[in-house]
Amino acid sequence: MKSNHWIEFVTLFIYNKVFFSFLFFIISFHTSYSQQIEKVDFIDVKATVQPIFAEKKVKATASYTFKILKKCDSIYLDAPNIYLLNTKNFNSQIKIVSKNKKIWLFADFKVNKTYKICFSYEAIPKKALYFFKNQIWTQGQGKYTSNWLPSINDMNDKIEFNISYIIPSEKKIVANGILKSVTKNEKFSTWEYKMTKPISSYLVAFAVGDFSKKIIKSKTNTLIELYYPTNDSLHFEPTYRFSGEIFNFLESEIGFKYPWVNYKQVPLHDFMYAGMENTTATFFSDNFIVDSTGFNDRNYINVNAHELAHQWFGNLVTEKSGSDHWLHEGFASYYALLAEKEIFGEDNYYWKLYQSSEQLRSLSEEGKGEALNDPGASSITFYEKGAWALHILREKVGDEVFKKGIKNYLFKYQFQNVKIKDFLIEIELVYGMNLNDFENDWINQTKFQYEQVYKSLMKSKFMRDYLNLLSLRPRSISSKTFDFEKALSSSNVFLGQEVVYQLQNESISQTLPFYKKAFQTNNIHIRQAIAMSMNKIPTELKTDYESLLDDKSYLTQEIALGNLCANFYGDRLSYLNKIDTVIGFRDKNIRQVWLFMALITEDYKQEKKDLYANELKQYSSSIYGYAVREKAFEFIDYLSLWDHETIYNLINASQHHYWRFRASSREILNKLLKIDTYKKQIILLSDTMDDKNQSFLSKLMKEN
Ligand SMILES: [Zn+2]
């Protein structure tokens, strides 16, 4: 079924304020214990890396220091699509050869001896390094840093990376570690970054762009650099709201000082995950850039805390293999929940736990439960079940034991790799008893332990009230008047929302007073529940419903505009006039829906129709983020606004690095290829395109 995209957004939003949390990916690692790790320990890398915008490639010189652990005659660095240019050895005994996606080092290597090599190379990365008009950024996890910097795909070899970057002088760069120096020249500048501690290769990262920054200091004097697009300073505060609080909270909650020299965060164009915890330099999707209104629906807080928690859980102490992935994602998700609890309160914490428990319970009942030590488990297992496991463990052993155990674990295994068992042993040592039951129920078991979960949820008064209210769903409105009154008078938004959902599809004569009261709570989330659940607007509620257009929520405004125009046909012009200057979220949700409505409303501003159509078409261009473009394509398709330029943009989008966007674009392109007139246009256009686009299109046409 093809539905308007914004309606899909609605269903996603309905239970989840942080929309983008679903973007977290299943990134599991099947790290095999290669022979390599037993033979050699890479100690440090010193490199000078120059990314070249125009050619989408990297030129670099890198030197490596390594210690031989076992006598051998060859070792390697992972290096796909990397071409050796020059090999000037410190040790002429070592032969350097590029073969089979690796750089091989051949010599008669002696145990306990330290060696050094140096070479220059060119890399044309197919992934892990992405070039855009104004930005370049990397993504190491799941993609492999070795695509642009010869390194080790295995997380078990931690290396000290000291990298200098040569970039155009008008740009800024964010990278791991501390910025030692910047040498400016007219065209290019060299930025020297330094790490003082070893990290796994997947955590090496850099991002080049037009950034500005503000610096704050944590209670323990760590410098926190918050970057933003230079032309977007107005959104700085709501985007980074609570960043200092989150940092201070996590540091004191974890009880172990932030382990790195500094912390940086930077929002990036077309970043394909919600966030990535590169050591000292978290990258996140610029879809999280919001103003104060957008903050209410889609804020960065959960991702902010999640990526920061990884700086301890994942970056400082790293899994040995994919079976230990809980130690990364479960921990980051759990500590993000705790940070949100600190900001939004305990009810919010239980609400989120409850929601994930419902999902996990139904998966488990369908026989789709997964064990936390299954390296192939899905993201819901690693993230949500993982967080639940820690919540249950903490209840079992108590706050004090839990916190002491966490501290000991981090202290003992810092800068090392661990297994789940190593963590459990540290808790057991403080607890004084074994955790066999916990391990069986929560780590080894595929079944979700709902009885334990239910017992835990029942400790919250809010959850007891909520589940009680939920149990009233089948009953008549008249029999639950008292409960509804009470819920709508409470300060808890989730209870109010539940009342609103129970009013759905009931007769207006019975529900009117409750709807009135729900509107009057002036709580944007309760009012949003009305916007989401009411399709047919009774005339008695017309004025109240119209007031939703003024709510500080772009989601509410978007739904309300659509519903009002559909319900009160005669008033469409005034609704359109009311929000004709609102843009909405980063994906321009309101503006695009508005343009769409303005175009389909025949008697609305005839003289400006071309202007509106052109604006909508423009949003399909690659200068905009994928979220803007995805919406634009839907509307363009719906309105059949296809022309050379928009089709070109669609072909380009169908090869995008972000698979979700690529898939939705391809679906539309495939559809167009089945329509003769468009097919002809596409073939014509194909003649004017470069080889890469042409071969993509000819392949696609064969499939169709
Ligand atoms: Zn994570």
Give residue 22's pLDDT: 34
Q: How many whole angstroms from 27 Cα to the centroid of ligand 1?
A: 9
Cα(350) to ligand 1 centroid in Å equals 21
Could you tell me the distance, in angstroms and rounded to a whole number, from the CA of residue 26 to the centre of ligand 1?
Answer: 9
Output the CA 505–ligand 1 centroid distance in Å. 40
Closest by Cα among 207, 206, 244, 212 to 228: 212
CA 186 to centroid of chain Cα atoms: 36
> What is the CA(269)–ligand 1 centre distance, in A?
19
User: d(Cα 279, Cα 196) in Å, to the nearest integer?
Assistant: 12
What is the spatial order of strands in the sheet that 281-285 belongs to?
211-217, 223-229, 263-268, 281-285, 275-276
Contacts 24+ apart (CB under 8 A), 414-418: 414/259, 414/316, 414/317, 415/158, 415/197, 415/198, 415/316, 416/158, 416/317, 416/318, 417/155, 417/156, 417/158, 417/317, 417/318, 417/319, 417/320, 418/317, 418/318, 418/319, 418/320, 418/324, 418/327
Residue 333 C-alpha to ligand 1 middle, in angstroms?
7
Q: How far is the CA of 611 from the centre of ligand 1 (A)?
A: 43
CA of 313 to the centre of ligand 1 (A): 9
318 near 418, Cβ under 8 Å?
Answer: yes
CB 148 within 8 A of CB 50: no
Give residue 681 CA to ligand 1 midpoint distance, Å: 44
CA of 306 to the centre of ligand 1 (A): 6
Sign for the pseudo-dihedral over CA of 27, 32, 38, 39: negative
Q: How far does residue 344's CA lie from ligand 1's centre (Å)?
A: 21
Those residues with Cβ within 8 angstroms of residue 566's Cβ, 6 or more apart along the chain or in another chain: none
Distance 21 CA to ligand 1 centre (A): 10
Both structure tokens of 439: 């391990």
Nearest to 260 by CA among 315, 213, 299: 315
Residue 587 Cα to ligand 1 midpoint, Å, equals: 24
Contact 679, 672 (CB under 8 A): yes
CA of 265 to the centre of ligand 1 (A): 15
Model pLDDT, residue 259:
98
Q: Output the CA 282–ligand 1 centroid distance in Å.
A: 11
| Cα-to-centroid distance, 605 and ligand 1 (Å) | 48
Q: What are the residue ranges in the chain where pLDDT is below 70?
A: 1-34, 88-91
Q: For 618-641, write each residue's pLDDT tens digit.
A: 999 999 999 999 999 999 999 999
Ligand 1 centroid distance, CA of 142 (Å): 12
466 CA distance to ligand 1 middle (Å): 30
CA–CA separation, 417 vs 319, rounded Å? 5
Ligand 1 centroid, distance to 580 Cα (angstroms): 39
- Ligand 1 centroid to 307 CA: how many Å? 6
Ligand 1 centroid from CA 613, angstroms: 40
What is the four-CA torsion angle of 688, 694, 696, 700, rounded to 10 degrees?
90
Tell me the CA–centroid distance for residue 334 and ligand 1, in Å: 10
Say how many Å lie between the CA of residue 351 and the centre of ligand 1. Answer: 21
Question: Which one-letter amino acid corresponds to residue 75?
Answer: I
d(CA 14, CA 2): 20
Write down the H helix ranges in 277-385: 292-295, 301-310, 326-344, 346-365, 379
Distance 206 CA to ligand 1 centre (A): 18
Ligand 1 centroid distance, CA of 675 (Å): 43
How many A from CA of 310 to the centre of ligand 1?
7
Q: Please tell me the distance between residue 295's alpha carbon and the centre of ligand 1 in angstroms.
A: 21
Helix H or strand E encompassing 470: helix 461-470
pLDDT attached to residue 303: 98
Dist. CA 131 → ligand 1 center (Å): 24
Euclidean distance between CA atoms 234 and 409, whole angstroms: 42
What's the rounded Cα separation, in Å, for the pair 138 and 174?
11
Burial 427-446 (b: 16+ CB within 10 A, else e): bbebbeeebeebbebbbebb
CA of 437 to the centre of ligand 1 (A): 27
Tell me, in angstroms, the distance from the centre of ligand 1 to residue 203's CA: 12
CA 207 – ligand 1 centroid, Å: 19
Amino acid identity for residue 202 in this structure: Y
CA 331–ligand 1 middle distance (angstroms): 9
- The residue length of the chain stands at 704
Cα of 252 to ligand 1 centre, how many Å?
20
**CA 241–ligand 1 middle distance (angstroms):** 20
* The pLDDT of residue 93: 86
CA of 656 to the centre of ligand 1 (A): 23
505: Cβ–Cβ under 8 A, 6 or more apart, which residues? none
426 Cα to the center of ligand 1, angstroms: 23
Asked if 694 and 686 count as a contact pair (C-beta separation under 8 A), the reply is yes
Distance 386 CA to ligand 1 centre (A): 11
Distance 384 CA to ligand 1 centre (A): 11
CA 38 to chain centre: 35
Residue 236 Cα, ligand 1 centroid: separation in angstroms?
23
Question: How far does residue 652's CA lie from ligand 1's centre (Å)?
Answer: 30
Q: How far is the CA of 209 from the centre of ligand 1 (A)?
A: 24
Read off the pTM.
0.93
